[in-house]
């Protein structure tokens, strides 16, 4: 009974502390304004091009003549894309509120952070570059978030289409920032890859705690539940096959990179989601941070082996 009492006390204390932090974060003031360049360009005429180029010079490559932009302004496909984005993001306020909450969390954990210009664009569905982040400018390509069943995505593989949804906008933005902050000098063994992506996903826990776990990793609910239910067996496979210190780059495509499923070379492969290595890395980093009082910035700098050896990771069975 004494042990239960202690556990209950720490649970209550942790919940109260977390609630206090979230209240502080919600009160952070930000100069946040989202410039809807996608709408501005979509409603502009050729006579307005000089003014657009002056305000957004970084969006108009000098190698292209003005006639290229004139054609784009009059292109029926571009008009349809603009109209479709406007339809999907008809009420942009909920998206803007989530973006604001994300930047409030970012500011809380990095006091020196300065808000960049936030600009929404169309990218001709360049799903490999959904969000581009620099210190001063952030570009978010809204045509990558129209929903997995949209006709614009009909030629894409299913595992790609499933994340072309508006619920992935914020996780993608968080990923773009995480890639800038994580310093892992070498990624030569499989464990390095696990921990690198584990750090990315842990940052999402910190920055976007209001998003569901399956959204953070880009899984469907069923895929996330499969990973949870099979966590022990995935880990057992990695250990028994001695993969953690393996330098075989094929392991990245089998268990880390986006794919329709993970490749254990077993009959159950088709049941599994891709990227289960990222999921396992996430659990290892979470276990490390739970068992070791370490600052976020220090953990991001740490070597993968040090994190793994001190994580005390015990997968669920």
Give me the pLDDT at residue 17, please.
67
| pLDDT of 18 | 74
Q: What is the pLDDT of residues 54-71, one digit of tens each?
A: 999 999 999 999 999 999
In the chain, what are the domain boundaries? 34-171, 190-311
Instruction: Quote the pLDDT of residue 19.
Output: 81
- Using alpha carbons, select from 313, 299, 300 the residue that is nearest to residue 244: 313
DSSP structure class, residue 273: P
Across the chain, mean pLDDT equals: 93
DSSP output for 188-230:
-SHHHHHHHHHHHHHHHHHH-TTS-HHHHHT--HHHHHHHHHT
Cβ neighbours around 75 below 10 Å, total: 11
Under a CB-based contact definition with an 8 Å cutoff, are residues 132 and 138 in contact? yes
- pLDDT 10s digits, 148-201: 999 999 999 999 999 999 999 999 999 999 999 997 777 899 999 999 999 999
Residues in the chain predicted with pLDDT less than 70, given as ranges, are: 1-17
pLDDT at 9: 41
Residue where the block lists tokens 């780059």? 249
Instruction: Give the model's pLDDT for residue 276.
Output: 98
């Amino acid at each position: 009974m004494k042990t239960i009492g202690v556990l209950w006390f720490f649970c209550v204390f942790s919940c109260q502390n977390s609630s206090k932090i979230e209240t502080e974060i919600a009160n952070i003031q930000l100069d946040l304004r989202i410039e809807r360049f996608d709408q501005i360009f979509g409603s502009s005429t050729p006579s307005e091009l000089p003014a657009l180029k002056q305000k957004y010079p970084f969006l108009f490559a000098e190698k292209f003549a003005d006639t290229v932009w004139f054609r784009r302004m009059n292109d029926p496909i571009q008009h349809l894309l603009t109209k479709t984005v406007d339809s999907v993001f008809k009420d942009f306020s909920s998206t803007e509120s989530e973006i604001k909450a994300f930047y409030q969390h970012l500011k809380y954990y990095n006091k020196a952070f300065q808000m960049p210009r936030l600009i929404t664009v169309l990218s001709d569905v360049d799903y490999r570059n959904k969000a581009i982040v620099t210190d001063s400018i952030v570009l978010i390509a809204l045509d990558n978030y129209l929903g997995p069943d949209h006709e614009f995505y009909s030629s894409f593989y299913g595992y790609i289409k499933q994340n072309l949804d508006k619920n992935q906008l914020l996780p993608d933005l968080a990923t773009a920032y995480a890639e800038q902050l994580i310093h892992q000098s070498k990624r030569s063994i499989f464990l390095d890859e696990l921990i690198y992506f584990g750090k990315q996903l842990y940052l999402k826990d910190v920055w976007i705690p209001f998003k569901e776990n399956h959204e953070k990793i880009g899984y469907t609910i069923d895929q996330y539940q499969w990973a949870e239910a099979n966590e022990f067996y995935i880990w057992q496979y990695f250990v028994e096959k001695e993969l953690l210190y393996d330098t075989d780059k094929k392991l990245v495509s089998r268990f880390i990179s986006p794919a329709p499923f993970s490749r254990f070379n077993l009959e159950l492969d088709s049941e599994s989601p891709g990227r289960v290595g990222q999921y396992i890395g996430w659990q290892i980093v979470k276990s490390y941070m739970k068992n070791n009082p370490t600052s976020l910035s220090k953990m991001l700098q740490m070597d993968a082996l040090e994190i793994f050896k001190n994580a005390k990771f015990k997968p669920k069975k």
